[in-house]
Amino acid sequence: MLKNEKTQEKEMKKEMMLKVSDIDPKFKYEISKLPGAENVLLCFQCGTCTADCPIARFDDFYRPRKLVRLVQLGLKDKLLSNDVIWLCSTCFTCIDHCPQDVGIADIVRALRNLTTREGKMPVVYKEIASNILKTGYAYVIPGLRLKKREEEGLPSLPKASVENLAKLCDITGLSKMLEKVRT
Ligand code: SF4
Ligand code: SF4
């Protein structure tokens, strides 16, 4: 057991070690051209975002400050292959509190978009996107719940125009992107 833990620790350390070849010097500029992420280079690592982030409170690895630093350092592959970028709840607390107006939630969105373009997305997000395409709602609403609404005298839920949604997804390239995604 002890040996396993040591081996695990060694493997983790190895994974965390950086090589010059891991660095993509253009990455920070690539990110700073994306809407909302223009101020990525202004982060001076004060840590306010991490102190106030509700996800960082419950996860030992999720640190918004670190995500920005990794972007600044150009560690593109490490970031885009890391599931941690999908943990942000987009509550925007970091945006409200950052003294440098860095816009971390927007940077995280940019990272997720890049990851999706490379064909990677957690299964839950793919399911939500497929549900929206099929029904206009993020979750498939069970028939029983709809019946219950009717029994309670509640109005019917608005119907989404699935055709318009499909058109929008084709125009934006989302449909193709979803086909490409390997979960
Ligand atoms: S609060 Fe803003 S400046 Fe401070 S570490 Fe976070 S992103 Fe950087
Ligand atoms: S938007 Fe994301 S990174 Fe910012 S505070 Fe909320 S959960 Fe944390």
Do 82 and 160 fall into the same domain? no
Nearest CA to ligand 2 atom 6: 91
91 lines ligand 2 (CB under 6 A): yes
Contact 129, 172 (CB under 8 A): no
- Domains held by the chain: number: 2
Instruction: Look at residue 59 and tell me if it is in a domain.
Output: yes
Q: Please give the span between the terminal C-alpha atoms of the chain, in angstroms, as a whole number.
A: 32
Domain end (from 97, 117, 137) = 117
Bridge partners (DSSP) listed for residue 182: 120
Do 153 and 88 fall into the same domain? no
Do 51 and 89 fall into the same domain? yes
Q: How far is the CA of 78 from the centre of ligand 2 (A)?
A: 20
Say what the pLDDT of residue 1 is. Answer: 46
* Ligand 1 probe mutation, 98, 106, 108, 111, most atoms within 8 A of CB: 98
Contact 158, 137 (CB under 8 A): no
Q: How far is the CA of 47 from the centre of ligand 1 (A)?
A: 5
Chain segment 92-135, per-residue pLDDT in tens: 999 999 999 999 999 999 999 999 988 899 999 999 998 998 89
Do 24 and 85 fall into the same domain? yes
Ligand nearest to the CA of 91: 2
81 lines ligand 2 (CB under 6 A): no
Do 66 and 149 fall into the same domain? no
Do 128 and 111 fall into the same domain? no
* Ligand 2 probe mutation, 52, 89, 106, most atoms within 8 A of CB: 89
Instruction: Look at residue 1 and tell me if it is in a domain.
Output: no
Do 113 and 163 fall into the same domain? no
Do 94 and 147 fall into the same domain? no
**Minimum-distance ligand 1 atom for the alpha carbon of 50:** 6
For residue 142, give Cα distances in angstroms to 11, 58, 149: 45, 32, 11
Chain segment 133-155, per-residue pLDDT in tens: 889 999 988 999 999 999 999 99
Chain segment 59-89, per-residue pLDDT in tens: 888 999 999 999 999 999 989 989 999 999 9
Which distant-in-sequence residues (6+ apart) come within 8 Å of 117 by Cβ?
177
Instruction: Look at residue 103 and tell me if it is in a domain.
Output: yes
102 lines ligand 2 (CB under 6 A): no
Do 99 and 28 fall into the same domain? yes
Q: Which domain holds residue 130?
A: 123-180
Region of poorest pLDDT, from 7-21, 123-137, 153-167: 7-21
